[in-house]
């Protein structure tokens, strides 16, 4: 189950034909990668149909909402992805920090539904997944498996979520509503950083040919969908911010690494705009920084290993952020006392303060890493850093309650808010930030050997060839081929929409 070579032609015609019949019956038209990258190219007829569909409904047309351009109500399409720009009063740095908001994605209110679609659709159109007879298994720490289950249900197939039992209640509540059967939620031991346990469970499940494991940590389609869709979406955000400031330069793209899929957008932004790529991890589990390990609460990231799809040799810096900071700032941004402090003391507009609820725990980590980088590089007003909010505070209300009662048993008050701001925002330094030398990159890359070659049995040559940037450039050739296969697939269902 560890990894599968990218297929760029139909591998099994019978399976592909069964999938065509299945999608015809389920009335599913599949969007292309190009359409999700630039939804303005989605035919008007589809857009018109969508205006009557709830973004969280199990409706096939919602596949056409799996992109960055949904408005806040998730009904209309925006010209520029929804984003917030963080003011210097909050960050303490003059550099522009632009955060694209993932919460407007349909069904799961997080961008991981894009990764899930990106991983499954090439399998379907190449005849490597039979939606009527096989189960799609989604190993994850919570958001990818929710995205996978949502996509599976829309396509009328079984989706199995495999995730650590210690993830947030909100994730499990959502899954209970969406899976076809309770046994389609498989709980593995531990929390965030226990990915090995997830792999072990999947190894067992993969013995049954009815289970197809879509391992986000090793599916190159995950890298590619972010390269194709998230990269250009972030470029559109940067272009928008630059509209009245033509001198603005994109200096960096910052993203916390779970599967390292999102970091794929960095390869696009580096190639197009010269942005540095900064990978973020939890300080309590500093795998890239210090070859370390440990437990933490920045849900979705930091899994004690180097994902197979991480283009390590193209990564420029690594930053470690403590979960103490993310948990505390989650309270600062989302509590009454915290919001009052931000409004009254920092003179921030109340609607801006409310918009900070668009940041989930890993998003706060991204912002803190961006601040660190801005401090290290002494970035100024003409410099921009883009990052993503994979999900929002909406998924962590229970975590905020738990943290508040453990850390502030008498409740989080305005003094606590001031202390939280001073310590975790104003007090950010450039510690635990490495600008990677060639030797650092080799060290991080080589660490992956123990997971992928020794533990998961990947042939050494397949492991080693990812050092070369030509390998990654070569992968991108799959994107237009998959789009042609998707168009051909849609034509075969006979449901193809008017152009
Ligand atoms: C909340 C959250 N943040 C960040 C990430 C990391 O994204 P990626 O897996 O693309 O590296 C994930 C992944 O599941 C996530 O759920």
Q: How far is the CA of 409 from the centre of ligand 1 (A)?
A: 30
Confidence class for position 496, pLDDT limits 50, 70, 90: low
**What six digits make up the tokens of 342?**
């931000």
Cα–Cα distance for residue pair 121/123, rounded to 1 Å? 5
Q: Ligand 1, closest atom to CA 361?
A: 1
98 and 111 housed in the same domain: no
Say yes or no to pLDDT of 403 above 70.
Answer: yes
Q: Are residues 19 and 168 in the same domain?
A: yes
Q: Identify the pLDDT of residue 499.
A: 44
pLDDT at 5: 74
User: If you measure from the C-alpha of residue 138 to the centroid of ligand 1, how many angstroms do you get, rounded to a whole number?
Assistant: 14
Number of domains in the chain: 2
Residue 384 has pLDDT above 50, yes or no: yes
- Among 154, 187, 220, the domain-final residue is 220
Q: Using CA atoms, how far apart are residues 168 and 122, in angstroms rounded to an integer?
A: 30
Alpha carbon distance 37, 228 (integer Å)? 6
Residues with CB under 6 A from ligand 1: 112, 141-144, 256-262, 299-301, 360, 362, 390-391
Do 63 and 99 lie in a common domain?
no
Pocket mutation for ligand 1, best pick of 164, 362, 367, 394 (most atoms within 8 Å of C-beta) = 362
pLDDT of residue 3: 58
Assigned domain for 459 exists: no
Pocket perturbation via mutation, ligand 1, pick of 109, 259, 366 by most ligand atoms within 8 A of CB = 259
**In contact, 379 and 94? CB cutoff 8 Å:** yes
Q: Let me know if residue 64 belongs to a domain.
A: yes
Residues 144, 62 share a domain: yes
Query: What CATH number is associated with residue 275?
Result: 3.40.50.1100
| Terminal-residue alpha carbon distance, the chain | 38
Mean pLDDT over 415-432 rounds to: 98
Query: Do 66 and 199 belong together in one domain?
Result: yes
Determine the Cα–Cα distance for residues 124 and 147; give it in Å rounded to an integer: 17
122 and 145 in a single domain? The answer is yes
pLDDT at 327 over 80: yes
**Is residue 97 located within the same domain as residue 143?**
no
Where is the domain boundary, 403, 435, 467? 435
Confidence grade of residue 2 (pLDDT, cut at 50, 70, 90): low
What distance in angstroms lies between residue 111's CA and the mean position of ligand 1's atoms?
9
Helices 169-178 and 397-407, packing angle to 10 deg: 160
Residue 376 has pLDDT above 90, yes or no: yes
**The model's pTM:** 0.97
Q: How far is the CA of 142 from the centre of ligand 1 (A)?
A: 9
pLDDT in tens, 257-311: 999 999 999 999 999 999 999 999 999 999 999 999 999 999 999 778 999 999 9
Ligand 1 mutation pick, 228, 258, 310, 368, max ligand atoms within 8 A of CB:
258
pLDDT of 497 reads 64
Q: Which residue, among 360, 362, 356, 255, has the nearest Cα to 298 in the 3D structure?
A: 362
Say whether both 111 and 157 belong to one domain: yes
Under 8 Å CB-to-CB from 198, ≥6 apart: which residues?
Answer: 139, 140, 141, 162, 163, 164, 188
| Residue 367 covered by a domain | yes
Q: Ligand 1: distance of its center to the CA of 185 in Å?
A: 19
Mean pLDDT of 438-457: 97
Query: What is the SS3 string spanning the chain?
Result: CCCCCCCCCCCCHHHHHHHHHHHHHHCCCCCCHHHHHCHHHCCHHHHHHHCCCCCCCCCHHHHHHCCCCECCCCCCECCCCCEEEECHHHHCCCCEEEEEEHHHCCCCCCCHHHHHHHHHHHHHHCCCCCCCCCEEEEECCCHHHHHHHHHHHHCCCEEEEEEECCCCHHHHHHHHHHCCCHHHEEEECCCCCCHHHHHHHHHHHCCCCCEEECCCCCCHHHHHHHHHHHHHHHHHHHHHHHCCCCCCEEEEEEEECCCCCCCHHHHHHHHHHCCEEEEEEECCCCHHHHCCCCCCCCCCCCCCCCCCCCCHHHCCEEEEECHHHHHHHHHHHHCHHHHHHHHHCCCCCHHHHHHHHHCCHHHHHHHHHHHHHHHHCCCCCCEEEEEEECCCHHHCHHHHHHHHHHHCCCCCCHHHHHHHHHHHHHCCCCCCEEECCHHHHHHHHHHHHHHHHHHCCCCHHHHHHHHCHHHHHHHCCHHHHHHHHHHHHHHHHCCCCCC
Both 282 and 358 in one domain: the answer is yes
Q: From 100, 110, 171, select the one nearest 355 (Cα to Cα).
A: 100
Return the pLDDT at 4: 66
485 within a domain of the structure (yes/no)? no
Dump pLDDT digits (tens) for 171-220: 999 999 999 999 999 999 987 778 889 989 999 999 999 999 999 999 99
Q: Are residues 182 and 322 in the same domain?
A: no
pLDDT tens digits along 25-69: 999 999 999 999 999 999 998 888 898 999 999 999 999 999 999
- Other CB atoms within 10 Å distance of the CB of residue 461: 7
Nearest in space to 195 (alpha carbons), one of 140, 149, 113, 148: 140
Q: Are 207 and 271 in the same domain? A: no
- Give the separation between CA 167 and CA 164, rounded to whole angstroms: 6
What domain range includes position 31? Answer: 13-78+106-220
Q: In sequence order, what are the beta bridge partners of 96?
A: 384
Shared domain for 54 and 145, answered yes or no, is yes
Q: Take atom 5 of ligand 1 and give the residue whose Cα is closest.
A: 300
Within-domain flag for 119: yes
Q: Confidence class of residue 1 from pLDDT cuts 50, 70 and 90?
A: very low
- The answer to whether residue 339 is domain-embedded is yes
Among residues 383, 417, 435, the one where a domain terminates is 435
Q: Do the beta carbons of residue 230 and residue 265 sit within 8 Å?
A: yes
Residue 180 within any structural domain of the chain: yes
Ligand 1 atom 7: residue of nearest CA: 258
- In testing the pocket of ligand 1, which one of 228, 256, 309, 365 has its CB within 8 Å of the most ligand atoms? 256
Pick from 189-203, 223-237, 481-495: least confident: 189-203
- CA distance to 241, 259, 418, per residue, from 247 (Å): 11, 34, 35
Q: Ligand 1: distance of its center to the CA of 53 in Å?
A: 27
- Would 185 be classed as within a structural domain? yes
């Amino acid at each position: 189950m560890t990894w599968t070579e990218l297929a760029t032609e139909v591998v099994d015609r019978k399976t592909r034909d069964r999938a065509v019949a299945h999608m015809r019956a389920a009335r599913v038209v599949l969007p292309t990668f190009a359409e999700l990258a630039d939804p303005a190219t989605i035919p008007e007829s589809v857009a018109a149909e969508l205006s009557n569909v709830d973004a969280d409904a199990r409706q096939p047309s919602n596949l056409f909402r799996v992109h960055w351009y949904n408005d806040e109500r998730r009904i209309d399409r925006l010209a520029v992805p929804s984003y917030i720009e963080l003011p210097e009063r909050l960050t303490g740095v003059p550099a522009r920090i632009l955060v694209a908001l993932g919460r407007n994605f349909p069904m799961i209110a997080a961008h991981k539904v894009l990764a899930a679609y990106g991983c499954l659709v090439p399998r379907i159109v190449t005849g490597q997944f039979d939606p009527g007879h096989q189960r799609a298994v989604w190993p994850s720490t919570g958001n990818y498996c929710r995205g996978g289950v949502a996509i599976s249900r829309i396509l009328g197939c079984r989706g199995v979520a495999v995730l650590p039992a210690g993830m947030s209640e909100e994730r499990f509540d959502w899954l209970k509503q969406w899976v076809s059967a309770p046994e389609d939620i498989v709980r593995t031991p531990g929390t965030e950083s226990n990915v090995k346990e997830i792999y072990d469970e999947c190894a067992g499940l993969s013995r049954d040919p009815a289970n197809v494991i879509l391992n986000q940590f090793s599916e190159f389609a995950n890298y590619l969908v972010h390269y194709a869709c998230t990269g250009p979406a972030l470029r559109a955000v940067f272009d928008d911010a630059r509209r009245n400031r033509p001198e603005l330069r994109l200096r960096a793209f910052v993203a916390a690494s779970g599967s390292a899929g999102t970091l794929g957008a960095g390869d696009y932004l580096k190639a197009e705009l010269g942005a540095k790529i900064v990978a973020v991890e939890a300080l309590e589990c500093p795998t890239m920084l210090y070859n370390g390990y440990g437990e933490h609460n920045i849900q979705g990231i930091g899994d004690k290993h180097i994902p197979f799809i991480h283009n390590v040799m193209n990564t420029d810096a690594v930053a470690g952020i403590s979960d103490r900071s993310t948990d505390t700032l989650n309270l600062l941004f989302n509590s009454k006392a915290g919001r009052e402090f931000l409004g009254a003391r920092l003179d921030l507009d109340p609607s801006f303060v409310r918009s900070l609820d668009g940041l989930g725990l890993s998003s706060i980590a991204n912002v803190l890493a961006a601040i660190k980088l801005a401090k290290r590089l002494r970035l100024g007003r003409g410099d921009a850093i883009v990052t993503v909010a994979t999900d929002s505070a909406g998924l962590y209300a229970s975590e905020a309650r738990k943290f508040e009662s453990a850390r502030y048993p008498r409740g989080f008050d305005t003094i606590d808010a001031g202390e939280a701001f001073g310590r975790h925002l104003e007090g950010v330094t450039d510690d635990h930030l490495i600008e990677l030398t060639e030797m650092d990159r080799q060290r991080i890359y080589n660490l992956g050997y123990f997971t992928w070659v020794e533990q998961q049995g990947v042939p050494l040559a397949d492991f080693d060839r990812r050092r070369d940037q030509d390998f990654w450039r070569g992968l991108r050739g799959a994107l237009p081929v998959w789009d042609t296969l998707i168009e051909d697939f849609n034509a075969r269902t006979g449901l193809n929409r008017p152009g």
